[in-house]
Amino acid sequence: MDLNKKYTPQTWPDHPETATLEGKNKFVGFWLLLAAETVTFASLFATYLALKDKGPSGMEFSASELFELPLVFAMTMILLTSSLTSVYAMYHMKNHNFKAMQAWLGITVFLGLSFLGLEIYEFNHYVHIGFGYTNSAFSSAFFTLVGTHGAHVLFGLSWFIALMLRNSKRGLNMYNAPKFYLASLYWHFIDVVWVFIFTVVYLMGVIG
C-alpha cells in the first residue's frame, strides 16, 4: 500500500473502509468484536437486573429513589447527537473531504467529553449522598454496568483524538480510512448500549 498516493474525491472509492483486504479484515473483525462486546454488556445487564435493589437489610437507596431523569435525559440527548455528528464525519470521509470530517469529529469528541463530564458529575453526586461502590450489591452492579460504559466512552474518545492528531497533517488515505470508519462504528455501538442503559437502568428504575 502506498501512503503517498494522492486521492481526489473522484478517485476515492465509494467504500474506502473495505476497499483493501486489510480494510475488509478490519471491518469484519470489528463487527465480530462488537458481537463479543454485546455479550459482555448482556452479562452486565443480566447481573444488574438480578441485583437491582438488592442490598443489606435496611439499605438506604433503591433505584426508584436514587435516579433523577432530567440529567440522564440530557446525557442521552448529548450522546445521541454525537452519534449523529460522527455519521456526518463519515459522510465526509466517504467524499474524501478531510477538513469537514475532522471538524465533525471534533464536534463528536466535544459532545462525548460533555457526556463524560456529566457522568462523572452524576457518579460524584451519588457517592456524595452516600451511594458508594461498596454500599450494596445494587450499587456495585450499577456502577460496574454504567462505569464500564463510561470506560468505553473514554476509550472511544481517546481513539478519535489519537486518530485526528496522527493524521491531521497527511489527510485521508486507504490506510487510515478504515481506522476512522471503525472508530465511528465503535461510537455508534457505545451509543446503542447507552440507549439500553437509559431504558433498563434509569427509566425502568424510576418506574420501579
Partner 1 sequence: MSSIAQKKGFGATIWDYLTTVDHKKIAILYFISGGLFFVIGGIEAMMIRIQLMKAGNDFLSAGLYNEIITMHGTTMIFLASMPLLLAFMNAVMPLQIGARDVAFPFLNSLGFWLFFFGGIFLNLSWFLGGAPDAGWTNYASLAMASEGHGIDFYTLGLTISGFGTLIAGINFLVTIINMRAPGMTYMRMPLFTWTTFVASALILLAFPPLTIGLFFMVFDRLFGANFFDVAMGGNTIIWEHLFWIFGHPEVYILILPAFGIFSEIFAIFSRKRLFGYTALVFATILIGFYGFMVWAHHMFTVGLGPTANAVFALATMIIAVPTGVKIFNWLLTIWGGNVSFTTPMLYAVAFIPSFVAGGVTGVMQAMAPLDYQLHDSYFIVAHFHYVIVGGVVLALLAGTHLYWPKMFGTMLSEKLGKITFWFFLIGFHLTFFIQHFLGLMGMPRRVYTFGANQGWDTYNMISSFGALFMAIGVIVLLINVVLTIVKNERIGNDPWGDGRTLEWAIPSPPPFYNFPQTPLVRGLDSYWIEKMEGNKEGMVYAEPLGDIHMPNGSIIPLIMSFGMFVAAFGAMYHMDGDKAWALPVLVIGLGITFGSMLVRSLKDDLGFYITKEELLRDAKGGNNNGSK
Cell of 49: 437486573
Shortest CB 23 distance to partner 1, Å: 10
Cell of 71: 440529567
Q: How many CB atoms lie within 10 A of CB 115?
A: 25
Return the number of the residue (76 or 173) whose C-beta is nearest partner 1.
173
Q: How many CB atoms lie within 10 A of CB 31?
A: 12
Q: How many CB atoms lie within 10 A of CB 28?
A: 11
**How many residues belong to the site for partner 1 (CB under 8 A)?**
38
CA torsion 26-29-34-39 (nearest 10°) is -170
Residue 51 interacting with partner 1 (CB under 8 A): yes
Residue 139 interacting with partner 1 (CB under 8 A): yes
Binding residue for partner 1 (CB under 8 A) from 7, 47, 103, 192? 47
State whether the Cα torsion 182-186-189-195 is positive or negative. negative
Q: How many CB atoms lie within 10 A of CB 20?
A: 16
Q: Go through the chain and tell me how many residues it has.
A: 208
Contact criterion met (CB below 8 Å) for 112 and 156: yes
Site mask, partner 1, residues 24-43, x = CB under 8 A? Answer: xx--xx--xx-xxx-xx--x
Return the number of the residue (22 or 69) whose C-beta is nearest partner 1.
22
Shortest CB 99 distance to partner 1, Å: 21
Of 68-76, 105-113, 130-138, 192-200: span binding partner 1 (CB under 8 A): 130-138
Shortest CB 45 distance to partner 1, Å: 10
Of 71-79, 80-88, 134-142, 185-193: span binding partner 1 (CB under 8 A): 134-142
- The single residue listed with the C-alpha cell 440527548 is 77
Shortest CB 70 distance to partner 1, Å: 28
Binding residue for partner 1 (CB under 8 A) from 7, 13, 59, 87? 59
Contact criterion met (CB below 8 Å) for 145 and 201: yes
User: Footprint of partner 1 on this chain (CB under 8 A)?
Assistant: 1, 3, 21, 24-25, 28-29, 32-33, 35-37, 39-40, 43-44, 46-47, 50-51, 54-56, 59, 133-141, 144, 162-163, 166, 175
